[in-house]
Amino acid sequence: MVGTVAEKIINEHIVEGKSAPGEEVALKIDQTLTQDATGTMAYLQFETMHIPRVKTELSVSYVDHNTLQTDFKNADDHRYLQSIARRYGLYFSRPGNGICHQLHLERFARPGKTLIGSDSHTPTAGGMGSFALGAGGLDVAVTMAGIPYRLKYPRIMGIKLTGKLPDWVSAKDIILEVLRRIDVKGGTGKVLEYFGPGVKTLSVPERATIANMGTETGATTSIFPSDDVTRAFLEAQGRGDQWIHLEADAEYDEIMEINMSELEPLVALPHSPGNVKPVSEITGMEVQQVAIGSCTNSSLRDLKIVANILKGHTIAENVHLIINPGSRQVVEHLIESGEMRYLVAAGARILENTCGPCIGMGAAPPTSGISIRTFNRNFEGRSGTKDAQIYLVSPEVAAATAIKGVLTDPREFGAYPQIEMPKRFIINDNMFIRPLPIEESAAVEIIRGPNIKPLPDFHRLPDRLRGEVLIKVGDNITTDFIMPAGAKILPVRSNIPEISKHVFELVDPGFSSRALDKNGGFIIGGENYGQGSSREHAALAPKYLGIKAVIVKSFARIHLANLVNFGIVPLTFKDPADYDSIEMGDNLEVAVGDLSHELTLRNLTKDTEIELTHSLSQLDVEILKAGGKLPWVKAKSLANERGTANT
């Protein structure tokens, strides 16, 4: 089959639709993953479908987000997730085993396979040659039930890599360069596919770093070829038999070229991953915290480099250095090689193998603190400290900064450390619990703690929506902004009434109570509304509060799908300038009985009319009219049962 890498995988998995950019296609999904912050709700949704066992080739439930156990909530949810995995045929990765994306890359991701995960950084597996997509938990639940995943066929942007990374420049700088060029929405509707002679110089973990953070461009996913480098990695993981050769042999829709030899250390400034500058332009700034790890830069390669930079040094007096490795495999190798000692001796605080500070789960910076992080997001308030200034950098920049106490260009350090990667990794899968045989799983009892509450009711979409503008926000509003994370809020992810109290609280603490008092209403937003995390709670909690429609200049892909999934109508201004004519408190009305054409929004307060449009497919309209994807799936299942009975 001729095509780009992405096209070859997509076309082999299409079960419905046309292979043309912009056309909706339905894909067979081979693998799924969830993590505990989104997984609990995904499995509550899966249970309502009454499917006896997952229908994918492989599904894994990871625990890596909500591991800070300050009370019963997280611990109870972990017991629920483990019992769900035993009941429905999933692998279960126990707390402390590692971060889902690092673990999946090591143990399960395969070239040529499709993967969907309830985490926006699921494209990490694209470093292996998987077509891997982030999605809302409900979409993952539906996929586990055997229903194909639908998306618009993307345009393929080829990113040609030439040259070789100089010393002290790493894969993180490649993706920061991409973000510097196209910003946080330049990848919308596209797959970023890497090719060219420079690709051969990058290991699979380095490729995974790039694919992981490609999510911040708004891209559908990112992907690399499966070549001899991929085969060597799989063989080192004891999975050589899973390798296939997969490279592009067709033209790309557009091409960006990056000469890696010309790159220098880069940094993303607050509060956007797209706000990128050379480190050399802003060196000397005193910092209070350095954090190394997350799903972007917690591989063995990254931590070996960090360990050898820190060797023989002590971190600066003004700095807290925090490291969270990506997996137990990484930790075991660092212990075996003695390099863990370098980290400890330098003064690093070694956290468990989880997401941790990246999602505000501990290690929040001090008031107005500057934190230099190897993570993938620096949204305002995400760290757990609202006025913290978060900068995103490579492991090399982070380690050098920890030693100096000020933001440092690591090229000052002279000779670049030489590290040796193992020819065969330590393989110990004892913290994965394998699926039970089907004859045993049917008897498993699901364990539910008191924090797990039933899903809200979903009613059919009325022909007309009427209500008040409850909030008006600007451009690039993230799902962190809509539905914050952090140590206080993440534990109530399975309790929609409770978590809904926190919607928009970073900017408008009274939003939740006002929405309930007004019996719901409308949200008005600017460009790229809903960027960032795949968290469906940013749609599900507003649905509980009665939000009827979100009207914006443009949407981020995953959030748009989540709004449809939960029966909130996503509409866009036909003329973006009309955004300025609506104010908070205005009463609006729009007829949505026929979503096949453009709509007219009536501003009852100002006695004006505005033209609206949308990008909804015919299936999206069906789902919205049913009240959301869950009632739509149930209606389809009931219709199929009746049809079977009649025959």
Which one of 3.30.530.20, 3.40.50.2300, 2.40.110.10, 3.30.499.10 gives the CATH number of domain 5-262? 3.30.499.10
Is residue 324 packed enough to be buried (19+ CB in 10 Å), middle (13-18) or exposed (0-12)? buried
Which one of 3.40.50.720, 3.20.19.10, 1.10.1070.20, 3.60.130.10 gives the CATH number of domain 464-635? 3.20.19.10
- pLDDT attached to residue 638: 65
Look at residue 529 and give its three-state secondary structure.
strand
Q: What is the pLDDT of residues 178-194, one digit of tens each?
A: 999 999 999 999 999 99
Is residue 106 packed enough to be buried (19+ CB in 10 Å), middle (13-18) or exposed (0-12)? buried
HSE-up (13 A, CA, CB side) for residue 169: 22
Sign for the pseudo-dihedral over CA of 134, 137, 142, 146: positive
- pLDDT attached to residue 171: 98
- pLDDT attached to residue 534: 83
- pLDDT attached to residue 168: 98
Residue in the block written with tokens 């063995």: 300
- 231-234: list long-range contacts, CB under 8 Å, 24+ apart: 233/128, 233/203, 233/204, 233/205
User: Domain 266-413: what homologous superfamily?
Assistant: Aconitase, domain 3 (3.30.499.10)
267: tokens are 């940094």
pTM of the model: 0.93
Q: Which residues are CB-contacts of 629 (< 8 A; sequence separation ≥ 6)?
A: 138, 139, 142, 564, 565, 566, 623
Other Cβ atoms within 10 Å of 434 Cβ, number? 12
**pLDDT over threshold 80, residue 647:** no
Spatial contact of 140 and 365, defined as CB atoms under 8 Å apart: no
Element (H, E) at 34: strand 31-35
Is residue 638 packed enough to be buried (19+ CB in 10 Å), middle (13-18) or exposed (0-12)? exposed
- Degrees to nearest 5, angle at CA 171 with 62 and 559: 50
Give the orientation angle of helix 629-646 with respect to helix 137-144, to 10 degrees.
20
**pLDDT over threshold 70, residue 395:** yes
Q: What is the pLDDT of residues 510-537, one digit of tens each?
A: 999 999 999 999 999 999 999 988 889 9
Q: Mind giving me the DSSP string for 156-202? A: EEEEEEES-PPTT--HHHHHHHHHHHHTTTTTBTEEEEEESGGGGGS
Question: Does 5-262 match 266-413 in CATH topology?
Answer: yes
Q: What is the pLDDT of residues 164-181, one digit of tens each?
A: 999 999 999 999 999 999
The structural domains of the chain, with segments of one domain joined by +, span 5-262, 266-413, 464-635
Q: Which residues are CB-contacts of 409 (< 8 A; sequence separation ≥ 6)?
A: 265, 279, 280, 283, 397, 400
